[in-house]
Structure 1
């Protein structure tokens, strides 16, 4: 089965997981957690970490790449007629509710018409990224493991510098998680 970085605590002494941290960062904002299909080996462990009232979106074709999840999230947002969609990667443990609130405020400043993105103190681009509702249909053009980069390049981005490297720190291995 391998290592599921989103549902594995960093040590026996910490019950924290990446998925719980991401849900905590979204606290106070409408959110949905994208999960792999019920037949996927990680589905149950991830679902069990969530509270009963946490909304979930099962992505049936998640194995085809990140684009499947992004498309499903865009459709979910379109169906709910929201002003925008914030993409928060669950493998980035130091993103907080404050980061998301700061970006949401900037997004609203531009009348919910511009893409806004967190930028690390070093100048690197990070997450979250918020997309205006008008651009969500374009997610259907994504394929494979293409992320949102093509849309960012096409439409331009308003960056908000954060006072740390938190929006750029990813966990890729069990060792990364333990060291953080």
Structure 2
């Protein structure tokens, strides 16, 4: 059975953090590597990782990963997602979209989304903090819409539309991401790290 192609969005400037947050290390691995490792037990293809502001630094730190530079990253997350969708082969049935800074997302969360997608073959998204979001799985029929995105809203409007059949899966871990130094300190404190 075909499996969704993972896409990890990692193009932002980390402006609120002050430097490249995806190179922060937790238990000896960068945040980007932790995101990639979350996918390892799931039998998926290697993720397509969209970079931008910190492309060179991420390549230097992760030469083994499929890092693709979106030179239009400043147009926002939507532009980076559109860039990724346009990279997918014609044989791709669906895309699994993740954000590299959602540090609490684990393999169990992703597995539940994939199981739901296998059953319904519709858009399947995470539900946390009283809203729909990513990680999410988008079937191929939505690729043309995703490929036209060009704002900082990503797929938010599509996910929150009542126009489409969307299955939502409770993923409380999706509410935790790293945007600021305070977020990082709180996360490390929560995990018993220093």
Q: Under TM normalisation by the shorter chain, which class is it?
A: 0.7 to 0.9
Distance across 2 between alignment mates of 1:48 and 1:102: 33
1:19 Cα deviation from its structure 2 partner = 0.9
CA contact (8 A) 1:24 1:96 kept: no
In structure 2, runs of 5+ residues without a counterpart are 1-14, 188-194
The equivalences for 1:164-179 within 5 A come to 165-179=172-186
Is 1:85–1:130's contact at 8 Å kept on the other side of the alignment?
A: yes
Instruction: Select 1:25's aligned residue among 35, 38, 49.
Output: 38
Partner residue in 2 for 1:95:
105
Q: 1:107 aligns with which of 102, 108, 117?
A: 117
SS at match of 1:21: helix
Which digits, 9 at most, give the CA deviation of each residue in 1:131-161, with x for residues without a partner?
A: 0011111113322212102222142420112
Q: CA deviation at 1:170?
A: 1.4
* 8 Å contact kept, 1:118–1:160: yes
In 2: Cα distance, 1:48 partner to 1:176 partner: 25
Counterparts of 1:130 and 1:80 in 2: how far apart (Å)? 17
Gaps of 5+ in 1: none
Of residues 145, 158, 164, the one that matches 1:155 is 164
Q: Residue 126 and residue 150 in structure 1: after superposition, are their counterparts in 2 closer, same or farther (change >3 A)? A: closer
TM-score, normalised via structure 2 length: 0.76
Q: 1:17: Cα distance to partner? A: 2.5
**1:80-131, Cα deviation, whole Å (9 max, x unpaired):** 5211111111110011122112111110111x2x1001223x6543431110
Q: How many residues align?
A: 166
> What is the SS of the residue equivalent to 1:95?
coil
Aligned to 1:74: 85
Residues 151 and 124 of structure 1, relative CA distance in 2, 3 Å threshold: closer
Higher strand share: 2
Once superposed, which parts of structure 1, at least 4 consecutive aligned residues long, lie more than 4 Å away?
none
1:144 maps to what in 2?
151
